[in-house]
Amino acid sequence: MPRLRDEILDCVVYLYRSYHEADEGIAIGGSGFALGMPCESLPGAAHIYAVTNKHVVENGAIHIRLNTRDGKKVLMHAEQNDWVTSATDDLAIVPLVPIPASVSTKPLSIDCLITREMVTQYGIGVGDEVAMWGVLLTARDIRRMFRPRDLGTSPRCRRPNRNRHGDDPRRSFLMRSALHRGL
């Protein structure tokens, strides 16, 4: 697998259930990434959002901790209703404003996200390598790192996703992984 670009590795945000836990760096509730959406009214500028899983926010991890260049931290207080959650997917976002200049977190460009068209254009499918990262929550997880190996899918493999609109079958992905120590 090719080396990931540094800017991709610097996009991580950490989520906690309380401001105190975020300040102390204890009982982390989840992780996410910073995403930059182009500002239509100001070319070259971007609106910055924290993106995570909806279930992380629903479990109360709504306070954000960002790393700084000097190894310290910046805490961002959020309320549950500040988060916008998807009605159909396990996604949640919140604006990150204002972000101090000392923060080392760099938002991903929306161009880094994959689209259905890209999957078709580049022939992405069964057997392709994938990379994923996130917060490992147990001592055992911390001692072991997850190394994704293969991505598999089948057009016949559907998972029902019941929502207010009824059944919404979506393509399911299966990832074979191997555990190894360190990176």
- The predicted structure's pLDDT at residue 41: 92
Last residue of a domain, one of 111, 130, 161: 111
Residue 12 shares a structural domain with residue 101: yes
Q: How many domains does the chain have?
A: 2
- For the chain, the average pLDDT equals 75
Residue 100 DSSP one-character state? P
Residue 21 shares a structural domain with residue 98: yes
End-to-end Cα spacing for the chain: 13
Residue 46 shares a structural domain with residue 95: yes
Residue 12 shares a structural domain with residue 98: yes
Last residue of a domain, one of 74, 93, 111: 111
Residue 35 shares a structural domain with residue 106: yes
Residue 44 shares a structural domain with residue 88: yes
- The pTM score is 0.71
In a domain, 1, yes or no: no
In a domain, 75, yes or no: yes
Q: Do 65 and 34 form a contact (C-beta atoms < 8 A)?
A: no
Residue 42 shares a structural domain with residue 57: yes
- The predicted structure's pLDDT at residue 20: 94
Residue 72 shares a structural domain with residue 135: no
Domain that holds residue 70: 6-111
Give me the long-range contacts of 117-125 (CB less than 8 A, separation at least 24). 125/151, 125/153
Residue 105 shares a structural domain with residue 47: yes
Quick one: tokens of 144?
Answer: 């072991």
- The predicted structure's pLDDT at residue 3: 73
pLDDT tens, 125-169?
877 776 666 554 444 443 443 444 434 443 433 333 333 434 333
Residue 120 shares a structural domain with residue 100: no
In a domain, 76, yes or no: yes
In a domain, 25, yes or no: yes
Residue scoring higher pLDDT (164 or 52): 52
Last residue of a domain, one of 92, 111, 130: 111
pLDDT tens, 76-118?
988 999 999 999 989 999 999 888 889 988 898 888 888 889 8
Residue 72 shares a structural domain with residue 158: no
- The predicted structure's pLDDT at residue 134: 57
Is 178's pLDDT higher than 50? no
